[in-house]
Amino acid sequence: MGYFSARPVGPPFRLFGTRHLLALAGTGLGVAGTIALGRRQGEAGRRATKAAIIAGLWGQEVAYHAWKARHGAWNLQEMLPLHLCSVLVWAGGTNLIRPTQLGDDITWFWGLSGAPQALLTPDLADFGDRHFRFHQFFISHGFLLTVPLWQVFVERRRPTAAGGVRAFGMLLAQAALAHAVNRRLGSNYMFLTRKPDTASILDKLPPWPGYIPCLAVMAAAVFAAEYAPFAVADALRARRPRRRDA
């Protein structure tokens, strides 16, 4: 029962320790392998792989909530789907089933900005690699990276500049909703009330509330960077001389 216990077992998690680095490498290989597989599969194979991604993404989230509930730790202050990664769990799977332009925008721009940061600075307290929570965390965020990369590099639904603007507007709307809930519940969704207890990029920013506008500027810059390769590719394509018909 130690693996699913309420408390950590084994060596505690250590940021950028050997086990953290191995988990990052394993997650990266899993994501890359899934995308490579999808690009080589036929239509039927891709449907099966996509179904497995959705099942894994939603299944691990249900398991996480069940683990919390089993130990009496499920609460409104922490478990509502208001953190960006929690939103992406449900939005990403839904968008794989029924794609929309807004779904593509959110999964690409939110997913590629939020999931890598979470993987680099996990909110794991002392849960190390002998515990369910450790593996669930890296599996979850690995899938959150897989979804947008699948949409772009397997299904060829590329992001747009307008999509980045829409995603940023939705980010501000999500922050407003999280702020309202935080005031009502005394929670800390999207870390708008205080910095996280574990190490994160927020440690390098000014104290609350000064880090909040900094985060908005950083998000805009990251969204622009996530679109930049496609803008450069379009510009290079436009400069190529057109072939003349013989």
pLDDT tens profile 15-26: 999 999 999 999
The structural domains of the chain, with segments of one domain joined by +, span: 7-229
Of the pLDDT bands very low, low, confident and very high (cuts 50, 70, 90), residue 234 is confident
Question: Is 110 in contact with 167 (CB distance < 8 Å)?
Answer: yes
- Cα distance between residue 165 and residue 109, in whole Å: 10
Calculate helix-pair angle for 84-97, 161-185, nearest 10 degrees: 130
Of the pLDDT bands very low, low, confident and very high (cuts 50, 70, 90), residue 233 is confident
What is the model's pLDDT at position 237?
82
CB burial readout 115-143, b (16+ within 10 A) else e: bbbbbebbbbeebbbebbbbbbbbbbbbb
Interacting residues of 49 by C-beta distance below 8 A, sequence separation 6+: 34, 37, 38, 41
Of the pLDDT bands very low, low, confident and very high (cuts 50, 70, 90), residue 246 is very low
Write the Ramachandran bin of 177: left for phi over 0, alpha for psi from -120 to 50, otherwise beta.
alpha
Give 160-184 pLDDT, tens digit per residue. 999 999 999 999 999 999 999 999 9
Asked whether residue 28 carries a pLDDT value surpassing 60, the answer given is: yes
- Cα distance between residue 123 and residue 149, in whole Å: 23
Average pLDDT over all residues of the chain: 94
What is the model's pLDDT at position 236?
85
Asked whether residue 185 carries a pLDDT value surpassing 80, the answer given is: yes
Q: Which residue has the higher pLDDT, 136 or 197?
A: 136
